[in-house]
Amino acid sequence: MKKQLLNIPEKSFEEIATEKYGKEIGITFGNYDEKAVFCYDMAVLNYDWTYHMTADELKNFKGEKPEKFPVPKMFDLNKAERVV
């Protein structure tokens, strides 16, 4: 067990992989000539019933369109405090 504990790297797997492959990882939409990019915009916030309408239907629609929700931001865990 001591030998195994001595062989554990100081960096986590995520840190090692990000250093090695961070510039290559991303989301691509089938065009492999373009560089892949990270998508931080969550799809669930953009998906509503207007997604199923054509451009003409959207242009002719007279009703109220759904509101866009703000994308939630991750809070800073370094400033978090324990609540008892």
1-59 residue pLDDT tens: 778 877 777 888 888 887 887 766 665 566 667 666 666 666 677 778 887 888 899 88
Asked if residue 70 is part of any domain, the answer here is yes
In the chain, the number of structural domains is 1
63 vs 73: which has the higher pLDDT: 63
27, 39 in Cβ contact below 8 A? yes
Average pLDDT for residues 64-70, to the nearest whole number?
Answer: 81
Domain hosting residue 15, numbered range = 2-79
Residue 84 lies in a domain: no
Tell me if 12 is assigned to some domain: yes
Beta bridge partners of 27: 37
Confidence of residue 78 (pLDDT cuts 50, 70, 90): confident
81 versus 47: the higher-pLDDT residue is 81
Give a yes or no: residue 10 inside a domain: yes
62 lies in a domain? yes
Residue 53's pLDDT is what?
86
